[in-house]
Amino acid sequence: MLGRLTAGLFFLLLVWGNLVAGMHAGMACPDWPLCQGNLIPPLRLDVWMEFLHRVLAALATVFLLLLVRSRLTSYPGLWKAIPLTAVGLIAVEILLGALVVLLELPVQPTTVHFMIGLAVFLLVLYMALCDGTVRPAQASFAGYAGPLFCVTLLIFAQASLGAYLRHSAAGLACPDFPTCRGELIPSLWDGPTLTNFSHRLLAVGSLGTVLLLYLASLLDERLKARQRDLLTLVFLVAMQIFIGVATLKSGLSYPVSALHLAMTLGIIGFSLRLWLTQGSVAREPGK
């Protein structure tokens, strides 16, 4: 239960942070840890969006520390590095978040801030799925577990590039879909176009990878038990692309963008669970 609550808080925190960025409310509280010099800020929507983002971050951190304490007890030996890494990353995340506000840092640190948050979310999901008792800590790349882990990495890369896309104002560099400014392959390769087009290629690559894995489950007994889950994953990634197109057509509307991120977090959690499940099978004798 503690793992699920912590994962839920980090899910909400990442989506809320996306809304804050979409509303350009990140600097509504230009000081830290106070907000406009007050513990309780004035009643203004952008101010409270950023203030509640900080409150969610504090609450999620408290639950993370409780979860880490539990996993340090239940994880043996070197597996304790997982909860310890989560603590280290959240410390860096808090420091970087403060510096972004206080120093008004440019897009690169802001994107790194998101990537660290996403990495912490993945570690929290791992600790929620592997409690160290019912399901021991594990990391298998044998058989089909390796490609399933690669799907998680692909989604992580796509989400990170999507964050850079938004923060660098490159989201409309290709304002049409499936073409880019009327061309299947853009003739102008400036920075925003390269970022935007790479994001699309990663989306297509993610869909192609999960589709190939689903087709493999129809032919290979080692993956047959994952057939239904893989079909679900194909559907989720396809829906993610559809919502991405809707985000583009809406002119990067921040509610649609937040839905796009929420779907990404759901997919990355689902693919992580698939990897762990397949990894458990791969470790069994004769598999």
Tens digit of each residue's pLDDT, the chain (287 residues): 888 999 999 999 888 887 877 777 666 677 767 777 777 777 777 777 788 888 888 899 999 999 999 999 999 999 999 999 999 999 988 887 777 666 665 555 778 888 888 999 999 999 999 988 888 888 888 888 889 999 999 999 988 888 888 777 778 888 888 888 888 888 888 888 998 889 988 999 999 999 999 999 999 888 888 999 999 999 999 999 999 889 888 887 878 888 888 999 999 999 999 999 887 765 554 44
End position of a domain, from candidates 137, 165, 197 = 137
Q: Which domain holds residue 282?
A: 140-287
Asked if 144 and 257 sit in the same domain, the reply is yes
* Of the candidates 73, 72, 222, the residue with the CA atom closest to the CA atom of residue 142: 222
**Token pair of 151, please?**
């799907």
pTM, to two decimals:
0.86
Tell me which of 104, 137, 170 is where a domain ends: 137
Asked whether residue 116 falls in the same domain as residue 254, the answer is no
Q: Are 149 and 131 part of one and the same domain?
A: no
Crossing angle (nearest 10°) for helices 254-282 and 107-129: 40
pLDDT at 110: 74
- pLDDT at residue 286, rounded to an integer: 46
Domain count, the chain: 2
User: Same domain, yes or no, for 130 and 204?
Assistant: no
Under 8 Å between Cβ of 167 and 100: no
217 and 228 in a common domain: yes
Distance (Å, rounded) from C-alpha 133 to C-alpha 136?
Answer: 6
Q: Are residues 87 and 3 in the same domain?
A: yes
Predicted local distance difference test score (pLDDT) of residue 19: 80
Same domain, 180 and 59: no
> Are 68 and 180 in a shared domain?
no
Query: What is the rounded distance in angstroms from the CA atom of residue 249 to the CA atom of residue 78?
Result: 47
